[in-house]
Amino acid sequence: MVSRPLSEPFTARLRDLLSTLESGALLGVAEARVRGLGEHLRFACMALPCSEALVALEVEALGRLSVPVVADRDGFRSPLGGGPLDLWPSGTPFAYLLAGGAGHAVGLSPGDSMVASLRPALAADPVYAVFVPIRVGSVVAGGAALFSHRDRLDQRHLEMAERLAEVLSLTVESFRTERAIFELFARALPDLIGPEAPTALGAALERHVLALRAAPEYRRRLQLAVAVGRVADRGPAEAELAAALLDRIDAYARTLQGGA
Amino acid sequence: MTAIDREARGIRIALIDSGVDGTHPWLAGAALSHHQVERRGELCTVVDGVSGDQAGHGTACAGIIHRMVPGATLHSISVLGPDGRAARDALLAAIRFVVREKFHVVNLSLGIDVPRSSPLRPADHRSVVELYELADAAYTVGVVLVASGSNASDFRTYPGKFKSLIGVGRGAFADTEALVSEMTLDHEILAPGDEVLAPALGGGERRWTGTSFACPHVAAHVARIRAARPELSVEAIKAALHELALSSPRGNPSVEKQVTDATA
């Protein structure tokens, strides 16, 4: 186990490292996720008569939806030429999907308000669309949308889109698990180390577990982290354990940044 | 059987969905009330709401119902919060409300989809058990729940699967009055759910596909039966519905062929 003194410089270094770690880890995972989602959506465009496809995923802490990738038959891209498209679910079909609604196909008119907030991400005005929910465990994490600029999308395509959403959900599930773990440690460790820490690590971790609204399968993993936090909360060993955790997270983040 | 009251006057239909835009031209003249599920601490409760729809789905379902039974009163219960999202307990609270208020018919184009290949997860299991108990309670007090089944055969949809309510699948029928009995583990009756013309937000209309849009057709049929024979039990209403299906226009082969051709 690595041992370090709990000093001001260490606290400052820890804070810097945590912020770097969090953004680095998120960046690494996000890139892998976008590649996976993009390839799946592209495949959908090749297998179905749809011209473009995208996913809109819930940004848990903010209540917004984020569209990280749009695909067509030739490949995939960021919706706004480098960044995600953010939108509120209200007024879009995703609001209904997030409420537990089932997938559906719709005909669209030119300039249709139903897809107005998604239109900046698309190359042309669609005439048909299929919207299906992406479920992660028992939670709807967002939705996928398939667009056709010419052909009708009917019940058979709706069924295929529902299956595509199952595949997409596996990618999203993997991403959310990684991110949940990282957010947990990254947010809670400064509470432990900082001299002005308002809460104990255990309480902070428990609060973040709740805040993440994790599904049961994640919760089991996260509760393990809470248990670690409680152990680390007991006294002098706390600093050593925090440092050891930090080293392990640091090593893991390096593998992510290396494209793993 | 007594002549069916096609307008279903005096029947109260609850629509648990994304809300309803009462200003839509399709709903002109409709008797409408609006409620919404509101979170108060840990609990969800149903309170009075205002006209409005955050997703367009509820207005489409309301339009289908009103077209078929213009004499019925529609009670919209929006399960979406102000941010356009809804928790599962909001859905449960809404169903609890409609059972307690003893609506004649409840349209439920919402539910929990679980992949057939996956076991029920603990959170799903708890929700499904609660839905099951609510569906049983509805059956006991004579509230007819009409719930959409799954769109894809790979999914189980709750509460649409339960036999204490009326589970609805979709078919490609040209006639909006069409009904076909099809007793399966997932649903018991088919209604038009393909390319259904219904309201779109903003005052227009669009074609919708999904079991969600088959469900309001069946809810409207049930409303007519309840208007004609208010004394019937849920079981008897189900029987009447299947009787109706025997005499209703079947799937139009030309439409089915058209769909097949388009997807070939």
Closest Cβ–Cβ partner in A63, A92, A162 for B83:
A63
Which amino acid type is present at position A100? G
Instruction: Report yes or no: A137 at the B interface, CB cutoff 8 Å.
Output: yes
| Domain range list for chain B | 12-263
Instruction: Report yes or no: A125 at the B interface, CB cutoff 8 Å.
Output: no
**Third-level CATH fold of A13-181:** Beta-Lactamase (3.30.450)
On whether the pTM is more than 0.80, the answer is no
Backbone angles phi, psi at B247, to 5 degrees: -100, 0
Interface test with A, best of B21, B209, B259 (most A CBs within 10 A): B209
The stretches of chain A forming alpha helices (DSSP H) are 8-47, 93-98, 155-193, 201-211, 216-232, 237-257
Q: Does residue A38 or residue A224 have the better pLDDT?
A: A38
| Domain range list for chain A | 13-181, 215-259
Mean pLDDT of the region A45-61 = 87
Class of the domain covering B12-263: alpha beta
Closest Cβ–Cβ partner in A91, A95, A138 for B121:
A138
**Interatomic CA distance for residues A40 and A166, integer angstroms:** 11
Q: Check A95 against B88: CB less than 8 A apart.
A: no
Q: Check A102 against B113: CB less than 8 A apart.
A: yes
% of chain B exceeding 70 in pLDDT: 91
| Cα A177 to Cα A170, A209, A212, B126, B213, distances in angstroms | 11, 12, 10, 22, 35
| Cα A78 to Cα A22, B120, B193, distances in angstroms | 22, 35, 34
Mean pLDDT of the region A201-214 = 57
Is the Cβ–Cβ distance between A42 and A75 less than 8 Å?
yes
Q: Does residue B4 or residue B33 have the better pLDDT?
A: B33
pLDDT band of B257, cuts 50, 70, 90: very low
At B192-227, the pLDDT tens digits run 999 999 999 989 999 999 999 999 999 999 999 999
Closest Cβ–Cβ partner in B82, B113, B194 for A154:
B194
Is the Cβ–Cβ distance between B245 and B181 less than 8 Å?
yes
At B115-158, the pLDDT tens digits run 777 777 777 788 899 999 999 999 999 999 999 998 877 788 89
Is the Cβ–Cβ distance between B130 and B92 less than 8 Å?
yes
Contacts of B108 (CB under 8 A, 6+ apart): B16, B95, B145, B146, B147, B148, B159, B160, B165, B215
Instruction: Report yes or no: A59 at the B interface, CB cutoff 8 Å.
Output: no
